[in-house]
Amino acid sequence: MTGKRSAPSLIGAASEAVTAHPQVTRILRERKLTIPGQLDQLEKVCSLVGEAAREAGFNRRTVYACQLAASEACENIIKHGYAREGEGDIQVEVRSAPGDLTVELLDSAPPFNPAERPRDRAWTSQDPPVGGLGLIMIHRAMDEVKYRRKGRRNWLLLRKRSSPPDV
| Domains and their CATH numbers in the chain | 26-111+132-161 (3.30.565.10)
**Which tens digits make up the pLDDT trace of 80-116?**
999 777 789 999 999 999 999 999 999 999 998 888 7
Confidence at residue 22, expressed as pLDDT on a 0 to 100 scale = 45
- Between 49 and 16, the more confident residue is 49
Going across the sheet that includes 153-161, the strands are 29-36, 89-97, 100-107, 153-161, 144-150
How far apart are the C-alpha atoms of 70 and 103, rounded to whole Å? 7
**Which tens digits make up the pLDDT trace of 23-78?**
445 668 999 999 999 999 999 999 999 999 999 999 999 999 999 999 999 999 99
Confidence at residue 167, expressed as pLDDT on a 0 to 100 scale = 39
Confidence at residue 18, expressed as pLDDT on a 0 to 100 scale = 46
Question: Is the distance from CB of 66 to CB of 49 less than 8 angstroms?
Answer: yes
